[in-house]
Amino acid sequence: MPFETIRASDVVNYIGRPNVLIIDLRDKEDYLKGHIPTAVNIPYCDLENEIHRLSKNKLLIFYCDRGHISLMAARDLMKYNYNIKNMHGGIMAYRGKLVYGV
């Protein structure tokens, strides 16, 4: 199943939806410094070990710092038939509200 790349400005349309899981692939320290509301932190290096946490019934939206890691993650998980969108430009391109801390 191919994945779609969305603009950072479009992610606000998915925040808080029950059928969407927004995943911040950065390390925990960067996540705590500011992340998209409702996003969960699964660092890219832990993604394969945490795959059991991801539901195939949800849309997964990946983002990272600039968009390269999230693109790799989308390609990695595409083979498992997840419904994935990659946020282009990462958190650096996002201009919406951020949540700080946990």
Q: Where are the domains of the chain?
A: 4-93
User: How far, CA to CA in Å, does 25 sit from each of 21, 31?
Assistant: 12, 8
What average pLDDT score do residues 17-43 get? 98
pLDDT, position 1: 57
The domain made up of 4-93 has a fold known as Oxidized Rhodanese; domain 1 (3.40.250)
pLDDT tens track for 72-102: 999 999 989 999 999 999 999 999 999 998 7
pLDDT exceeds cutoff 60 at 30: yes
pLDDT above 80 (res 25): yes
The pLDDT value recorded for residue 55 is 94
Mean pLDDT of 11-22: 97
Q: Give the model confidence (pLDDT) of 35-78 as tens digits.
A: 999 999 999 999 999 998 899 999 999 999 999 999 999 999 99
Q: Which residues pair with 65 in a beta bridge?
A: none
What are the tokens at 67? 């968009």
Per the confidence metrics, is the pTM higher than 0.85? Answer: yes
Q: How many CA atoms lie within 13 A of 90 on its CB side?
A: 17
